[in-house]
Chain A
Amino acid sequence: RKEVEQDPGPFNVPEGATVAFNCTYSNSASQSFFWYRQDCRKEPKLLMSVYSSGNEDGRFTAQLNRASQYISLLIRDSKLSDSATYLCVVNLMDSNYQLIWGAGTKLIIKP
């Protein structure tokens, strides 16, 4: 079973729409959760950390459900520049911040 699982997409979404990504993780000892963004052939960049209480950063909202081992990312009012691959990442407890990566969900925003 994959440790971090995401729908690979691509999600083709018109500009201005709202889009949601989901991610499930298998290891209940996962301690920290993140969404990274990766542009084609570039390094991953942290988009936001995900907290149990849920958190929002501008147009982006992240939610964590520990009971279901499920993480989500919501993007409102999507922009052309949001086109990228979104990576769900977890960090295990008692680990030296080794990050376990999902394969990513590709998002394409169309004008």
Chain B
Amino acid sequence: EPEVTQTPSHQVTQMGQEVILRCVPISNHLYFYWYRQILGQKVEFLVSFYNNEISEKSEIFDDQFSVERPDGSNFTLKIRSTKLEDSAMYFCASRTSNEQFFGPGTRLTVL
């Protein structure tokens, strides 16, 4: 069964450093998403991406964040200068119809 994959599973970084979180969506899906979940809190929408551009973004997704689909398979989330409060699980999702399929997440820890 096809699935969304994410790498790395855990990323530890120093405050102020740049991180890139990687996702490989399901191959025939057209819509891609990033969500985050701070430990013990609810899942929050960050951004949606379709046809090689951002279609929606939340207030969380400020200038420190960017997304890219550099080739036909990867979908990346970059955080330019990480802050302590960026520590969270980051989930990538993709969809073709009504259901969004989630990857296993990347746990980002900012020290």
Contact = CB atoms under 8 A, between A and B. Distances in A.
A103 B40 CA distance: 9
Interface residues of A, number: 19
Interface stretch (B13-21, B62-70, B73-81, B99-107): B99-107
Contact of A32 (B58, B98, B107): B98
Contact of A104 (B42, B98, B100, B103): B42
Interface stretch (A12-20, A59-67, A69-77, A91-99): A91-99
Contacts, number: 51
A87 interface: yes
B83 interface: no
Interface of B: 31, 33, 35, 41-45, 48, 50, 55-56, 58, 89, 91, 95, 98-100, 102-105, 107
17 contacts: A41-B89, A43-B104, A87-B42, A95-B56, A96-B50, A96-B55, A97-B33, A97-B100, A98-B58, A99-B33, A99-B35, A99-B100, A100-B45, A101-B43, A101-B45, A102-B42, A104-B42
